[in-house]
A and B are shown apart, each in its own frame.
Chain A
Amino acid sequence: MSLGFELVDHTADIGVRVWGPTAAEVFEEAGRALFSLVCDPLREGELEEVELELEAEAADLLLAAWLNELLYLFEARQLVLTEFEVRELGERRLRARVAGEPLDVGRHIMCGGVKAATLHELRLEQRSAGWEGFVVLDV
């Protein structure tokens, strides 16, 4: 299965369908999908790195927790994330390294913004050729 994402219509929110050969790649692609709705990177300068460790009660809840953690890094640490590397992914635990550009309010172009990843219709499934995830974002 190739790697990619598409935005799916949802009246007040946005659905994101993500697919990839492995679950870890689905997580990474979901991070890219999220930031396509948050802020355009400048693609210049030094990146700041952050190591993450997350736990949740199920693999799909981990996907929502991951996206919510990335939103937190954007708003609180002011990082426009461009690199997402999932190093270890279990059923209930994730370890990752992400990196991004320090936010420059005057130069970065915001893309509307996302409030949170919801649990509504959330899923992460293994298909015959790879993995697929679906998350509804509150925008």
Chain B
Amino acid sequence: MTVHVMRVERRDEFVYEIPQEGPMRVPGRVYAHPGLFMQAGHEEALQQVANVATLPGILRASIAMPDIHWGYGFPIGGVAAMDAADGVVSPGGVGFDINCGVRLVRTGLGVDEAKPRLDALMHQLMRGVPQGTGPHGALELRESELKRLCEEGAAFLVRRGCATGDDLAHTEEGGSMSGADVSAVSGKALARGRGQVGSLGSGNHFLELQVVDRVLDQRAAAAFGVGAGQVAVMIHSGSRGLGHQVCTDYVGRMAGAAARAGIDLPDRQLACAPLDSAEAREYLAAMACACNFAFANRQMIMHQVRGAFEQVFRRSWERLGVELVYDVAHNIAKREVHPVDGEERAVLVHRKGATRAFGPGDPDVPAGYREVGQPVIIPGDMGRESWLLAGTETARRETWGSTCHGAGRLLSRHAARKVRSGAEVRRELEGAGIVVKCASTGSLAEEAPFAYKDVADIVGVVDAVGLARKVARLRPLGVLKG
């Protein structure tokens, strides 16, 4: 089956629609900044929005966020909700890095206190938080322990003294996805993940030391414990090899299952299975394990961060106020209840490069944040800025409680390497006063600021259309790259 995007209609200042045509079951809807809309790869990305619209059970629209870019199967920045009764789950709609996500950690330190120790702190963070590919996470586990971690998530680390109840309360799903059944995870996936708990990984994953440089919503910032001049740490990582293998295993199985269920796919990476099939049930059980692995991974990295602060500042992390603001997933599929045509309906929401953004009053938002909405963490590129936002009721109504996830790629990795070398990028960042530590200087060029859209434009769009509200801006002080 092929789908041809014939036209794109502008519906509003920042909203575009791909009309429903041919095998599309619903229209496509793209939230975009006009200036960002026509950039490289946009035709392929729009084609992918239309392809997702053909999946069985998709409700309302195939949605894309302003950080949309060309992915495989789903576009990155894609959101699709399937009817829980007759819809499908697509592992490609979650991606290989299951529960890739972001965690924002605040500290009680002001930037003036931290600056003189910046080099020492970045050095200590580099020693404590493994980067790059390969098996060398901060936590050694036996296979039976890894299996428990997959079913329990970050909660597994409480008994080991690497997590607190407060940390869990400030993690999406409490750091533990329900429905996790490790018998659905292959031995290969367990073998790949075993040595990797507490490691950043490679690619666009990073740890940044940041300073809150602007607060736009004082009330929400106060609820999140964040104020101007405060030092924070942002952690971007996922489920490492375990998640990659879970996705690989189930895309392989579902490529055949989709054909057997009579589902004609425009792209085999959209391989999917009806939600009432064994393949779907097992995938969701395995995906939940990978999500739990990722929550535990970011928790373990934060534990290492706390240790680094203790080493450098010679005070306990509690006294230094190294506390979790929030941890959000941006590659995930979740069973949620949303209003559809005036009725509450059970759906499966795929968020592929999109963040949950529940608004004020939502019971899934931690008690302390419930009046202002769920914190949404949007990393930018390593030279410019990142954002802390808050979820909204509008997102709940329009986008299944979802918003953007980052800056979005502009240049391919190869194209970025042609613009400047890793060494030049390092010099530029250091010239701007940013301390850079990385496993491979080459990857610095691939992840350079110019390879990404300006996150300010992305955040500007979601704020303008009400899919999240700006709370605070953060600027990088130090970057640790995978």
Contact of A76 with B241 at beta-carbon distance under 8 Å, contacts A39-B133, A118-B72, A138-B72 already known: yes
Within 8 A of A (CB), among B67-91: 69-73, 76
B269 contacts the other chain (Cβ, under 8 Å)? yes
Q: Can you name 24 A-B residue pairings with CB atoms under 8 Å?
A: A9-B414, A10-B70, A11-B41, A11-B409, A12-B409, A13-B72, A61-B255, A64-B252, A65-B252, A72-B191, A72-B192, A75-B134, A77-B191, A78-B135, A110-B202, A112-B413, A112-B440, A112-B442, A112-B443, A115-B96, A117-B248, A118-B72, A138-B95, A138-B244
| A61 surroundings in chain B (CB, below 8 A) | 252, 255
Asked if B188 and A76 sit within 8 Å, CB to CB, the answer is yes
Asked if A112 and B269 sit within 8 Å, CB to CB, the answer is no
Asked if A12 and B71 sit within 8 Å, CB to CB, the answer is yes
Residue of B nearest to A8 (CB): B414
Asked if A116 and B96 sit within 8 Å, CB to CB, the answer is yes
| A138 surroundings in chain B (CB, below 8 A) | 72, 95-97, 244
Which bracket fits the contact residues of B?
A: 35 or more
| B72 surroundings in chain A (CB, below 8 A) | 13, 118-121, 136, 138
Q: How far is the CA of A103 from the CA of B244 in the complex (A)?
A: 20
**Residue among B92, B247, B413 having the largest count of chain A Cβ atoms under 10 Å:** B413
Q: Which residues of B contact A (CB under 8 A)?
A: 40-41, 44-45, 69-73, 76, 92, 95-97, 132-136, 188, 191-192, 194, 201-203, 241, 244-245, 247-248, 251-252, 255-256, 267-269, 271, 409, 411-415, 439-440, 442-443, 446, 482
Chain A: minimal CB distance from B409 (Å): 5
Q: Which residues of A contact B (CB under 8 A)?
A: 7, 9-14, 38-39, 56-57, 61, 64-65, 68, 71-72, 74-78, 103, 105, 109-113, 115-122, 136, 138-139
Contact of A105 with B269 at beta-carbon distance under 8 Å, contacts A10-B70, A13-B72 already known: no
Asked if B136 and A105 sit within 8 Å, CB to CB, the answer is yes
| A72 surroundings in chain B (CB, below 8 A) | 188, 191-192, 245
Q: How far is the CA of A28 from the CA of B267 in the complex (A)?
A: 25
Chain B: minimal CB distance from A14 (Å): 7
Which of B69, B73, B194, B440 interacts with A118 by CB under 8 Å?
A: B73
| B255 surroundings in chain A (CB, below 8 A) | 57, 61, 119
Asked if A11 and B203 sit within 8 Å, CB to CB, the answer is no
Q: How far is the CA of A121 from the CA of B41 in the complex (A)?
A: 15
Residue of B nearest to A38 (CB): B133
